[in-house]
Amino acid sequence: MIHSRNRRLRVNESIRSLVRENILTTDDFVMPIFVMEGENQQEAIPSMPGIFRRSIDLTVKECKELFSLGVKSVNLYMKVSEHLKDNTGKEAWNKDGLMQQTIKAIKDAVPAMVVMPDVALDPYSIYGHDGIIENGKILNDATNDALARMSVSHAEAGADIVAPSDMMDGRVLAIREALEESGFSDVGILSYSAKYASSFYGPFRSALDSAPKEDMEIPKDKKTYQMDFHNSREALNEVYKDIDEGADIIMIKPGLPYLDIVSKVREAIDLPIAVYNVSGEYAMVKAAAQNGWLDNDKTIIESLTCFKRAGADLIFTYFAKEAAMILNR
């Protein structure tokens, strides 16, 4: 006779929900948002169905709707005009720049919204790289100085948390010291600690025109500073360094193909962990759902719950708004 039957706790939805280990809520989501110049402007991103570039006024409207749905955090990216790009990234800390104006507008309209601007030079670079280039190489330390100036500028505009995604060595310390010296000790740092050189970023780069340029004597990819996807132990090395330098939250990117890294880091640290459900992951689900190969809503919720199960606390996802609508139903 069988005395122990695991199926007793799966008999119906009420029992299943009673013993459920991980619960997905709208509090888990951070919505990445693309911003463009202009007024009352909106452009669809073909490789990311349902995602748009918006001018500041429409971005504010979107943030109000997100907050009403329970999504309380946004991650900002700028579509920078070509004439503002150079090899220094100086537009990134322009106090009247598109990013700074966007931060101020969102915080004025939705003060309780947590605003996390992206900190990286690639949208501002003529080369499409995350760093300043000299003689065909990425200058790590000079880039850190630029990132620190960028972060202080974001803090001055009202950012709650800055999110360096560049993967330069030592940049968390440079940013932390700059924020402290400028009187922004309460501004947090969400560090992209384990960011892999991945093929899953394609739709994002097309959305911002931020891919490395192919026709220049520069690195054709980001493998000299982003992590090798063959490696696992290296992720912990990166995470520990960023924690020592003052990071408040640790990011792992991409998401679904890297759940093993999320789990490994979760076992090793106590800080909050963020994971990025990146553009390529979003595009795959949307393409399959549009072809009738997957159930859109069920696949979204299952995918996002996987991040929670692996140990993530925050989920950066382009599904945030749609998932919030599903959960609210």
Please give the positions annotated as active site. Answer: 195, 253
SS3 of residue 74 by DSSP = strand
Tell me which residue has tokens 């299943």.
16
Question: Half-sphere exposure of residue 169, counting CA atoms within 13 Å on the CB side?
Answer: 8
CB atoms within 10 A of CB 180: 12
Q: Answer for the pair 88, 126: CB distance below 8 angstroms, yes or no.
A: no
Question: Half-sphere exposure of residue 163, counting CA atoms within 13 Å on the CB side?
Answer: 26
Burial class, 194, CB count within 10 angstroms (exposed 0-12 / middle 13-18 / buried 19+) = buried
Q: What's the token pair of residue 253? A: 């990117």
What own/partner pairs with CB < 8 Å and gap ≥ 24 does 236-240 have? 236/264, 236/265, 236/268, 238/193, 238/194, 239/193, 239/194, 239/265, 239/268, 239/269
Q: Which element (helix H / strand E) includes 302?
A: helix 296-310
Residue 88: which of 34, 35, 41, 142 has the closest Cα? 142
238 among the known binding-site residues? yes
CB atoms within 10 A of CB 106: 28
What are the distances in angstroms from CA 9 to CA 4, 305, 308?
A: 11, 20, 21
CB atoms within 10 A of CB 28: 25
List binding-site positions for Mg(2+). 238
| Annotated binding-site members | 238
